[in-house]
Amino acid sequence: MAANPMNQFEVYRIGPEIKIGTFDISFTNASLFMIVSSFAILFIFNLGSKKKSVIPNKIQLLAELSYSFVAKMISDTAGSKARPYFAFIFSLFMFVLFCNMFGMIPYTFTVTSHIIVTFMLAAFIFIGVTIIGFIKHGFGYLKLFVPSGVPIVLLPLIVVIEIISYLSRPISLSVRLFANMMAGHTMMKVFGGFVVSLGIVGGWLPLSFSVALTGLEILVAFLQAYVFAILTCIYLNDALNLHH
Amino acid sequence: MSKDPFKTRLEIAKKKVDKRNSNSKNLNPSPIGNAFKLSTELVSAVAVGTIIGFILDKTFGTKPWLILIFFFVGVVAGIANVIRSAKNMQK
């Protein structure tokens, strides 16, 4: 096993090389774990919603709890107008959560520790929210960049600042998830390496750190999925209820 | 007595849900999430400002100036972001 802590983030090809033009679209370990987590979600929620008993069993309880958790999150942050987007936010939250959680199992690959994956998710949200804003408000959506009560002299500067802060949304959204996942997994690997190199004499301290870090990482995995979803709700709220 | 008891109970429950929705306006994600949110918001605005300055410099050929200006505008935008989300947290 390689001692390099960054080795775990390596993407490698599984199966034959597939190319369309100059694009390499081969099946990689990242794609494998995305598919695994998607199927895990489908499996759990199919099983949970198949038998609609009044007294739920464990899997039904899990499905119902996560439904009401996301529903409450949406109604708290974006109000009742955001109800039609429930399915999108729910699948987004579940996908990020399951990718993060699958990464916690040893020898698996963490899909969300790659910035391109998180950035694609964030860019998709950003473009979608912008389109929704323009559909709902037309060109009035541009009022988002012009706060009320600003003197006319300062207006050009304020508009530039607002545009930059609007464009920074997908970057902050993606970097947050990516950096947390990558830093956490690197740290776990480094402490794991210390356990091996210090041996049976001094290895107990980093081992206890590793145990504590695993708990922390599970918390972070959940929390980052939650933050990702709640920020999507907040951006959606900005687009639906335009008040600035 | 035309209403059946289930409907009455449903109405009471619906009213309860409405009431809860109206007064639970404060969103309360955990503090560690807030801390991550603030830090990345500051950094990403600076990054976007710098990238815009770099692209504009390339297109207009005004090599060092626009990137400098937009770097500082990005810093201002980042601080404004942080202040805005801190205000949202306190609401």
**Buried/exposed A107-122: b ≥16 CB within 10 Å, e otherwise:** ebbbbbbbbebbbebb
Full-model pTM: 0.82
Residue B26's pLDDT is 44
Share of chain A above pLDDT 90, in %: 27
- For chain A, domain boundaries: 5-240
Whole-angstrom Cα distance, residue A164 to residue B77? 7
Question: Between chains, do B78 and A179 touch, taking CB under 8 Å as contact?
Answer: no
Whole-angstrom Cα distance, residue A80 to residue A57? 30
Digit-coded pLDDT (tens) for A78-102: 888 888 899 999 999 999 999 999 9
Q: Which amino acid is present at A25?
A: I
Nearest to A164 among B32, B36, B73 (CB): B73
Burial of A133 (0-12, 13-18, 19+ CB in 10 A): buried
DSSP codes, A173-192: HHHHHHHHHHHHHHHHHHHH
> Which residues partner with A25 through β-bridges?
none
B73 assigned to some structural domain: yes
Digit-coded pLDDT (tens) for B18-73: 666 554 444 455 676 677 778 888 889 999 999 999 999 999 988 888 899 999 99
Digit-coded pLDDT (tens) for A120-173: 999 999 999 999 999 988 888 888 888 777 788 888 888 888 888 889 989 998
B6 assigned to some structural domain: no
Chain A residues touching B37 at Cβ < 8 A: 172, 176, 227, 231
Residue A49 has pLDDT above 80, yes or no: yes
Residue A61's pLDDT is 87
Phi-psi region of A27 (alpha: psi -120 to 50; beta: other; left: phi over 0): beta
Residue B67, domain extent: 30-90
Instruction: List the structure tokens of A116.
Output: 């391109």
B16 assigned to some structural domain: no
Residue B25's pLDDT is 44
What is the nearest CA distance from A221 to chain B, expressed in angstroms? 11
Question: Between chains, do A164 and B49 touch, taking CB under 8 Å as contact?
Answer: yes
**Overall number of domains in chain B:** 1
Residue B22's pLDDT is 53
B8 assigned to some structural domain: no
Comparing B36 with A73, the larger pLDDT belongs to A73
User: Which residue does chain B place closest to A160, by CA atoms?
Assistant: B73
Q: Read off the pLDDT band of B3 (50, 70, 90).
A: low
